[in-house]
Amino acid sequence: MTYSHPDSLRGHVAIVTGAAQGVGKGVAAALLERGASVLLVDIQDELLATTAAELTAIGPVERLVADLRDPDSAGRIVAAAVGAFGAVNGLVNNAIATNEPKEFVDITAEDLALGYEVGPRATFLLMQAVHPVMVEAGGGSIVNLGSGTGTGGEPRWGGYAAAKEGIRGLSKVAALEWGRDNIRVNVICPFAESDGVKLWKQFAPDDYAKAVRRVPMKRIGDVRTDVGALVAFLLGADATFITGQTIHVDGGIGCFR
């Protein structure tokens, strides 16, 4: 069974980073299915072009190749969305990068910098860049991607956890400050069958099976129908009084966090 709310995002414009594959692609598809226009952002040029061609069959799509490690990319991304569609109503900060897994003592300053630059710093800069555009539009909604690796901790993922928890901290403060502007900011922490998880399943099937057994619902989430549907809800009018929240979309693993 899948949940869909046709036209719930009709007239909305959204930016999705890390949209070429995995969770980002699933989120973009879910938004398009509900009537949104979407700017797909990713550093992977060829894969992004393939994804954009595929998603064009669902709804209005534009794509932009950008390296989020470049601080100037935030303004360029927001300007591209406004140029293509005239406004920005939703922002989904999904992109992240990591050199892990690594033992904590082996994490380097460069490893931390990579996660920070693509994660919390890029999220921060994109939020700042989109704020005046959303204010002019009368409000908007931002969904940032956290992780259960941060909220619960996970051995060998120290830098990644730090980056994801940094994103959560930024999100809480923005939610408190921007409520007056009718801009909502929420965090989701998914456990979904992304491309990375599929590789994990292929190369470490026993570990994958063990992880699935830990899920109360005994499955891993779908990037479009589980994660994407939640993001669509948070971007839309049905969630107009929800802000500053962290929602674990993980089948129940994070219920105590």
Predicted TM-score of the model (pTM):
0.96
Token couple for 109: 């300053």
Buried b (16+ CB within 10 A) or exposed e, 67-92: ebeeeebbeebbebbbebbebbbbbb
Task: List all residues 6 or more positions away from 39 whose beta carbon is below 8 Å from its beta carbon.
Answer: 13, 14, 15, 16, 61, 62, 63, 64, 77, 80, 81, 84, 85
In sequence order, the β-bridge partners of residue 113 are none
DSSP letters for 35-60: T-EEEEEES-HHHHHHHHHHHTTTS-
What value, to the nearest 5°, has the Cα angle with vertex 192 and ends 26 and 28? 15
pLDDT in tens, the chain (257 residues): 556 778 999 999 999 999 999 999 999 999 999 999 999 999 999 999 999 999 999 999 999 999 999 999 999 999 999 999 999 999 999 999 999 999 999 999 999 999 999 999 999 999 999 999 999 999 999 999 999 999 999 899 999 999 999 999 999 999 999 999 999 999 999 999 888 788 778 878 888 898 899 999 999 999 999 999 999 999 999 999 999 999 999 999 887 77
CA distance 84 to 44: 20
Token couple for 104: 């904590």
Task: List all residues 6 or more positions away from 231 whose beta carbon is below 8 Å from its beta carbon.
Answer: 27, 30, 31, 92, 143, 188
Q: How far apart are the first and last CA of the chain?
A: 27
- What integer pLDDT is reported at residue 198 of this predicted model? 83
Summarize pLDDT for 198-244 with one digit per residue, the tens.
877 887 888 889 889 999 999 999 999 999 999 999 999 999 999 99
- What integer pLDDT is reported at residue 194 of this predicted model? 83
Residue 206's CB is within 10 A of a number of other CB atoms, namely: 7
**Residue positions annotated with a catalytic role:** 160
Amino acid, single-letter form, for residue 196: G
CA distance 189 to 254: 9
Token couple for 158: 């120290």
Residue 74 near residue 128 (C-beta atoms within 8 A): yes
